[in-house]
Amino acid sequence: MAKKINLNFLLVIAISIFLTVFSTAVVSYQLFKQEVFSDLSSFAEMTDNLNLTEQMKDQGIIMPENELRITWIAGDGSVLYDSYTKDAALDNHSERPEIMQARKNGEGSCIRRSQTTGQDIFFYARTMEDGTFLRIAKEAGNIWNIYRNALPVTVLITVLSFAFCLWIASRLTKAFVRPIEQMAGNLSQPEQMNTYKELMPFISLIHSQHEEMIKHAKIRQEFTANVSHELKTPLASISGYSELIATGMASKKEARHFAAKIHDNAQRLLTLINDILQLSELDAASGQNLSIEPVDLYELAAHCMETMEPVAEKHGISLSLEGTSLKLYADKTLMEEMLCNLCDNAIRYNKKGGHVWISVTDRLTVRDDGIGIPQKHQKRVFERFFRVDKSRSKKTGGTGLGLAIVKHIAEVHHADISLDSEENIGTAFCVRFPDSALIRS
Ligand code: ADP
């Protein structure tokens, strides 16, 4: 970045120096021209006022060639007097641009390149009262001569200013880049950063993304540790019981009992792995791989109730469904999963003779009059592997992932899930779908 900024500075400096030198040359040559013509005009006026031309002609004065040249030209263009030559047979001057201009406007000027010296000759002519023309000429350097002479100094000044600007540019670049470098090394404390205010939104964004990444890494790490721990317990049981059977240490009766234990633990492992897979699928899907279709939540709830009925009966719990048809765009399998998870919990965390009410209105509510969730734990029940009562959860086949899956399903459908619970009174989970998902007939 610093290299690029330096290169850009260099380019800007080079262009500015070139433009400055060039425009100074043009402007100063224009000023020089103006100055020369203004001198020639003043001299012509003085010569005219003092009748110098006539006197010089009469006295036959010839001036050296580096002096001003005075020419007196008759109205027809013939040369009456020229201070450079005695030879009166000079060409007719009526076609000379400065004379033509003077004839038209009273005065005229022109610059011509001298063949012999290569210098510019500045001509200034004015019409006199008697209709003759007075022309003053001066040989002076042209723009290239002037600049050729000034070239060594110009080059020296250019090189020095270039070097100076380069030094300033590199200091500026360093000063410009320093806060950005400091920012890169100090991302964790953006409030302590002394950087450009324009960069603050960018820094805050990076900072929040940085924090988010750390949070996610921590969650993943905790999840992996929890998964390993959850898998270890049933595996250890399976290994222990099967060893007892394999070594013949268990009697025939015990072997059957141990085999049942192995079966239970294997089932538990399967449930756990299923839940983990489901969560990771939901993580990956994030709304993209869903198969969204029109579903009737009331119908799904009725189907779920049918499925759960035997389990409820076994626990002495009665199930009931109320409400009306609610059609919406959703993933049918995930909706069933959500309904069954909520119903399953409402049955498992209930008391004998308890009730579970499923209600479908413009929202879905699963309510029970079971053991309830203590206030202090209500915030955490949607966390992965969080259980209020670990042994009760395990005894009833819970994995601690059910509500995490429910919450995830709600999220991928942009639905909102809330919980209302009181210990020993009951719990209600309520899912509200966004208006955009509802199909109104
Ligand atoms: P689990 O597999 O342990 O049931 P969940 O994620 O489904 O895991 O639920 C997390 C915890 O929330 C449960 O362990 C339980 O303590 C509590 N819980 C969930 N649903 C209910 C409910 N309907 N009534 C009382 N407690 C509940």
For residue range 238-250, what is the model confidence (pLDDT) as tens digits?
A: 999 999 999 998 8
Indicate the pTM of the whole model. Answer: 0.62
What pLDDT score does 350 carry?
96
Answer whether 427 contacts ligand 1 (Cβ < 6 A): yes
Cα–ligand 1 centroid distance for 319 (angstroms): 18
Answer whether 387 contacts ligand 1 (Cβ < 6 A): yes
What pLDDT score does 180 carry?
78
What pLDDT score does 337 carry?
95
Which atom of ligand 1 approaches the CA of 384 most closely?
A: 6
Partnered with residue 125 across adjacent β-strands are 108, 135
Answer whether 339 contacts ligand 1 (Cβ < 6 A): no
Cα–ligand 1 centroid distance for 427 (angstroms): 10
Answer whether 371 contacts ligand 1 (Cβ < 6 A): yes
Q: Which residue minimizes the CA distance to atom 13 of ligand 1?
A: 387
Q: How many CB atoms lie within 10 A of CB 31?
A: 10
What pLDDT score does 116 carry?
67
Q: Which residue minimizes the CA distance to atom 12 of ligand 1?
A: 381
Answer whether 365 contacts ligand 1 (Cβ < 6 A): no
Q: Which residue minimizes the CA distance to atom 16 of ligand 1?
A: 388
Cα–ligand 1 centroid distance for 342 (angstroms): 9
What pLDDT score does 40 carry?
92
Inter-residue contact 259 to 245 (CB < 8 Å): yes
d(CA 315, CA 130) in angstroms, rounded, equals: 137
> In the chain, what are the helix, strand and coil shares in percent, each to the nearest 5?
60, 15, 25
Inter-residue contact 387 to 400 (CB < 8 Å): yes
Residues contacting 17, CB < 8 A, separation 6+: 158, 161, 162, 165
Answer whether 367 contacts ligand 1 (Cβ < 6 A): no
* Chunked mean pLDDT (size 10), the chain, 441 residues: 83 89 86 90 88 79 78 89 75 89 93 78 92 90 72 88 88 84 72 73 85 90 92 94 93 92 95 92 74 95 96 95 96 96 96 96 96 95 93 86 95 95 97 93 73
Answer whether 393 contacts ligand 1 (Cβ < 6 A): yes
Cα–ligand 1 centroid distance for 403 (angstroms): 7
Residues contacting 335, CB < 8 A, separation 6+: 295, 297, 300, 409
Cα–ligand 1 centroid distance for 347 (angstroms): 10
Pairing state of beta strands 120-127 and 107-113?
antiparallel
Angle at 160 between CA 159 and CA 165, to 5 degrees: 100
Task: State pLDDT tens for residues 142-200.
Answer: 667 777 777 888 889 889 988 998 898 888 888 888 877 777 777 677 666 677 778 78
What pLDDT score does 285 carry?
67
Answer whether 350 contacts ligand 1 (Cβ < 6 A): no
What pLDDT score does 287 carry?
57
Is 436 exposed, middle or buried, given 0-12, 13-18 or 19+ CB atoms closer than 10 A? exposed
